Amino acid sequence: MGVDIGGSSIRAGLIPVESGPPVGWKVRSTPQSGDEDEVAAALAETVQSTLEAGRADRREAGAVRDTVVLGVGIGATGLVDGERGVLVENSRLGWTQMPLSDAVVSRTGLPCTLENDANAAALGEWWRGAGRGSKCLLCLTLGTGVGGGLVWAGQPFRGARGLACEMGHICIDPGGRQCGCGARGCLEAYVSGDAIAARAAEVIGPVGGGFGGTEGEEAGGGPIVLTARRVVRRARRGDPACKSLVQETGEVLGLGLASLISALNPDRVVVAGRVARAGDLLLAPSREVVRQRVMEPMRRGLEIVTGHLGNQAGSVGAAGAFLLAERQGEGIGALPEGPRVA
Ligand SMILES: [Zn+2]
């Protein structure tokens, strides 16, 4: 089972070991209190209901044998100590030192691993999504914030203390926009969903409603605050102000990617998360900046693409991380690898 604990939702599903989409898919809201018992109870309840729903789904699909659940992989937003199974810190949610693995093990009896959510998403895209067949995959998740992950030779790269790949906090402009981490000019302060909405508010402001729009949300006529989703939707429709905002976002993303590509030499970059729904409107300017700034041999064979798994990447990858840990315990050391995607 893969469980993805994000800032607003917990998503979970049973991930078939060999192939196939998640079954028993469950989504519930993340408790916003910093209360450890409430979080533990929500997590355990999600695991239990996913088990039941997944087994029912499999029976309905004609599975003859009972579904055996090997264990639970959690991907959680924040700084994670995988060895102890503890979420060390998520300042936005006010969570500190939460023993998430123990919460699952003690309440369900299932073995459990814990991974950072963006590392999990990277492993998910490598295992079952847009990163399949990649030797060195860099994955950036553009959601509320910006997460990063690196999968090298089929293994997630964790760094010395499991905290690697906080790629949202590489510096784009030392005197630039204020970032939630306390520093200025981080990549996240420009390209996250929240940052795009904040930049839209500054550059464009609320947009007049009126009754001429084609979006349902504009039917009421009042002024509309531009969220990242609305910016992307308007850009796709050809709105010039929103198009140029997405273009600039793509260029800043390209600056960040250029540094990361020069440091890491990936053969594929997957841009995931809901901001990536902008597709080539976002990625074409990124690719152009990378072309200008990265030395040619490092760009050879490099692809920059959007994710394939949508909001299931974290759960799929969290389950993958569990399976990987279990196989390493058995001396196998790698996940079963699917065919390369075009
Ligand atoms: Zn930062």
Separation of CA 184 and ligand 1 centre (Å): 7
Separation of CA 177 and ligand 1 centre (Å): 10
Lookup: tokens for 341:
């995607």
Indicate whether 126 pLDDT > 70. Answer: yes
Separation of CA 167 and ligand 1 centre (Å): 9
Domains and their CATH numbers in the chain: 2-127+311-329 (3.30.420.40), 133-306 (3.30.420.40)
Q: What is the pLDDT of residues 240-283, one digit of tens each?
A: 999 999 999 999 999 999 999 999 999 999 999 989 999 999 99
Separation of CA 188 and ligand 1 centre (Å): 6
Is beta strand 136-142 parallel, antiparallel or unpaired with respect to 268-272? parallel
* Calpha distance 59→62 (Å, rounded): 5
Separation of CA 166 and ligand 1 centre (Å): 9
Q: What share of the chain has pLDDT > 90, as a percent?
A: 76
Is beta strand 303-306 parallel, antiparallel or unpaired with respect to 268-272? parallel
Mean pLDDT across the chain, nearest whole number? 91
Question: Residue 201 has what pLDDT?
Answer: 94
Q: What's the rounded mean pLDDT across residues 31-50?
A: 93
Q: What is the pLDDT of residues 195-228, one digit of tens each?
A: 999 999 999 988 876 444 445 455 556 788 899 9
* Calpha distance 278→231 (Å, rounded): 9
Question: Residue 66 has what pLDDT?
Answer: 83
SS3 call for 128:
helix
Strands (E), the chain: 2-5, 9-14, 23-29, 72-76, 79-81, 86-90, 95-98, 112-116, 136-142, 146-152, 155-156, 268-272, 303-306
Q: What share of the chain has pLDDT > 70, as a percent?
A: 95
Question: Residue 339 has what pLDDT?
Answer: 62
Per-residue H/E/C for 33-84:
CCCHHHHHHHHHHHHHHHHHHHHHHHHHCCCCCCCCCCCEEEEECCEEECCC
Separation of CA 179 and ligand 1 centre (Å): 5
Q: What's the rounded mean pLDDT across residues 82-107?
A: 92
| Cβ–Cβ under 8 Å, residues 164 and 79 | no
Q: How far is CA 301 from CA 69, 164, 226, 298, 341, in A?
A: 39, 25, 37, 8, 14
| Cβ–Cβ under 8 Å, residues 147 and 7 | no
Q: What is the pLDDT of residues 302-338, one digit of tens each?
A: 999 999 999 999 999 999 999 999 998 888 778 877 6
Separation of CA 331 and ligand 1 centre (Å): 38
* Calpha distance 326→153 (Å, rounded): 17
Q: What's the rounded mean pLDDT across residues 93-102?
A: 93
| Cβ–Cβ under 8 Å, residues 77 and 117 | yes
Closest of 85, 12, 58 to residue 319, by C-alpha: 12
Separation of CA 180 and ligand 1 centre (Å): 6
Separation of CA 321 and ligand 1 centre (Å): 26
Top mean-pLDDT range of 159-173, 183-197, 216-230 = 183-197
Separation of CA 9 and ligand 1 centre (Å): 23
Question: Residue 93 has what pLDDT?
Answer: 87
Phi, psi of 91 (to 5 degrees): -70, -30
Question: Residue 161 has what pLDDT?
Answer: 81
- Neighbouring-strand partners of residue 269: 138, 304
Separation of CA 327 and ligand 1 centre (Å): 35
Question: Residue 328 has what pLDDT?
Answer: 85
Amino acid letter for position 225: V
| Cβ–Cβ under 8 Å, residues 286 and 246 | no
Q: What's the rounded mean pLDDT across residues 67-93?
A: 92
* Calpha distance 231→205 (Å, rounded): 11
Separation of CA 44 and ligand 1 centre (Å): 32
Q: What's the rounded mean pLDDT across residues 121-138?
A: 97
